[in-house]
Amino acid sequence: MTTPNEPPMQGSRAKLVLPILTACLVILAGIYSPWILFASFALLPTLLVRMLDKGEKRVLSFSVTGLNITGLMLALQHSYSTYGASPKSGELFQDWFNWTLPFGLAWIGILFFMAFPIVFASVMEIVLQHKERRLKDQQQTLLKAWGTQLQQKATSATDKDDKKRSTEV
């Protein structure tokens, strides 16, 4: 029993025991099955990103994990077709193609995470410019058809919109 001044040790011990137990199980499984050992090492980028991604929606984890698992499945398929059902550990770990797929696709997931917002913003800007140009063309057509009274109302409305946009920004 602990005194009120001493912090309880069970919580910190439990936090240490679980990773150690998991590591031991992975090593034992690797001794008996190189497939499991290979998969555990190939999924290290996913584990690392899951620990580092503190965002609310965890978009980085989502993009990296999906592509890393895809690369792992492709590497396992390649290894199975190359080495058969019971390969030696050295064969799996020495094949550069097995490491290129999961780690390379995890890196592509990071690049997608970094580049997608920029690409999306650029595309939306182009779409908005096109819509604005089309709206101004329609406005000119209406002005020609309905006359100058509408033009005065239109310019005062656009001035108000411009002032409203400048105060929002």
Query: Quick check: is 24 in a domain?
Result: yes
Query: Quick check: is 4 in a domain?
Result: no
Residue 12's pLDDT is 61
Query: Quick check: is 2 in a domain?
Result: no
Measured CA to CA, the distance from residue 23 to residue 25 in angstroms comes to 5
What is the pTM for the complete model shown?
0.59
Residues 68, 106 contacting (CB under 8 angstroms) = yes
Domain count, the chain: 1
Residue 128's pLDDT is 95
Query: Quick check: is 101 in a domain?
Result: yes
Query: Quick check: is 5 in a domain?
Result: no
- Check residues 51 and 163 and name the one with the higher pLDDT: 51
| Sign of the torsion formed by the C-alpha atoms of 25, 30, 32 and 35 | positive
Measured CA to CA, the distance from residue 97 to residue 140 in angstroms comes to 61
Residue 5's pLDDT is 62
Whether 105 shows a pLDDT value over 70: the answer reads: yes
Q: Residues 19-43: what's their mean pLDDT?
A: 80
Residue 142's pLDDT is 80
Domain coverage including residue 74: 12-163
Residue 27's pLDDT is 77
User: 101: pLDDT confidence band, cut at 50, 70 and 90?
Assistant: very high
Residue 44's pLDDT is 93
Query: Quick check: is 7 in a domain?
Result: no
Query: Quick check: is 135 in a domain?
Result: yes
Residues 78, 100 contacting (CB under 8 angstroms) = no
* DSSP 3-state of 7: coil
Least confident interval from 5-9, 64-68, 95-99, 125-129: 5-9
Residue 45's pLDDT is 94
Share of the chain above pLDDT 90, in %: 31
Residue 91's pLDDT is 82
Q: Residues 158-162: what's their mean pLDDT?
A: 71
User: 132: pLDDT confidence band, cut at 50, 70 and 90?
Assistant: very high
Query: Quick check: is 6 in a domain?
Result: no
pLDDT in tens, 68-95: 999 999 998 998 898 887 787 788 888 9
